[in-house]
Chain A
Amino acid sequence: MTGQQVTIDNVSIAHANVSMHFDVRFEPEKITAIIGPSGGGKSTLLNLVAGFERPDSGHVRIGSEDYTHADPADRPVSMVFQENNLFSHLDIQTNIALGIRPHLVADAGDRAMVTDALQRVGLSGFEKRMPGTLSGGERQRVAIARALVRQKPVLLLDEPFAALGPRLRSDMLDLIGQLQREMAMTVLLVTHQPEDALHIADAVVFLDDGRIVAAGAVSGFFDRLDIPGLGDYLGDRSPQTGLPAD
Chain B
Amino acid sequence: MLTRRQTVRSLAAGYGVLAGMALVIGAAVIALLIAAADLSVDDAGFFNVAEFFNVYVWRVTRFTLLQAVLSTVLSVALAIPLARALARRQTFFGRKWLLRLLAVPIGLPPIVAALGLIEIWGRNGLINTALLAGGLDNPISIYGLPGILIAHVFFNMPLATRLLLTQLDRVPSEYWRNASQLGLGQWATFRLIEWPYMRSHIAGIAGLVFMLCVTSFTLVLLLGGGPAATTIEVAIYQALRFDFDPQRAVILALLQLLLTGILLAVLASIGGAPQETPTLGQPTRRFPGRGYLAQSADFCLIILMALFLVTPLLSIAFSGLSADFKQLFSETIVWRAITTSLAIASLAAICAVTLALVLIRARYAALPLVSHNGWARWFRALAAAASSLVLLVPPIVLGAGWFVLLRNRLDVFSLAPVIVITINALMALPFVMRVLEPAHTTHMARTGRLTASLGIGGISRLLLVDWPGLRRAFLLATAFAAALSLGDLGAIALFGSQDVVTLPYLLLQRMGSYRSNDAAGLALILGLVCLILMVIADQERPRARTETAT
Contacts and interface: CB of A to CB of B under 8 A. Distances in A.
Interface of A: 14-16, 50-52, 56, 71-74, 77-79, 81, 83-90, 94, 98-99, 102-104, 131-132, 136, 139-140, 150
Interface string B444-477: 0111011011111101110111001100000000
Given A71-B3, A72-B1, A104-B464, A99 B454 contact: yes
Contacts of A99: 454
A56 B373 CA distance: 12
A132 B371 CA distance: 36
A83 B449 CA distance: 11
Interface of B: 1, 3-4, 371-372, 445-447, 449-450, 452-457, 459-461, 463-465, 468-469, 547-550
Nearest to B547: A132
Contacts of A83: 548, 550
A99 B450 CA distance: 10
A73 B452 CA distance: 6
Q: Among the interface residues B372, B459, B548, B550, which one has the most CB atoms of the partner chain A within 10 A?
A: B550
B549 A88 contact: yes
Contacts, number: 85
Contacts of B455: 71-74, 102
11 contacts: A52-B1, A73-B452, A73-B455, A79-B449, A84-B447, A88-B446, A89-B469, A104-B464, A131-B549, A131-B550, A136-B548
Nearest to B471: A89
Given A84-B550, A132-B547, A52 B452 contact: yes
Chain B interface, DSSP helix/strand/loop, else mixed: helix
A73 B6 CA distance: 13
B453 A85 contact: no
A152 B453 CA distance: 12
- Max chain A Cβ within 10 angstroms of own Cβ: one of B3, B449, B463, B469: B449
Contacts of A98: 454, 456, 464
Contacts of A78: 453
A239 B520 CA distance: 79
Contacts of A56: 372
B450 A87 contact: yes
A60 B393 CA distance: 50
B320 to A, nearest CB: 41
A214 to B, nearest CB: 28
B452 to A, nearest CB: 4
Nearest to B461: A102
B550 A86 contact: yes
Contacts of B549: 84, 88, 131-132
A77 B453 CA distance: 8
Nearest to B451: A102
A50 B468 CA distance: 26
A72 B372 CA distance: 20
Contact of A89 (B445, B450, B459, B468): B468
B375 to A, nearest CB: 17
Interface centre among B372, B454, B469, B547 (most CB of A within 10 A): B454
Contacts of B4: 71
A98 B464 CA distance: 10
Contacts of B469: 87, 89
Nearest to B447: A87
Contacts of A14: 371-372
Contact of A88 (B445, B457, B464, B550): B550
Contacts of B453: 50-52, 72-73, 77-79
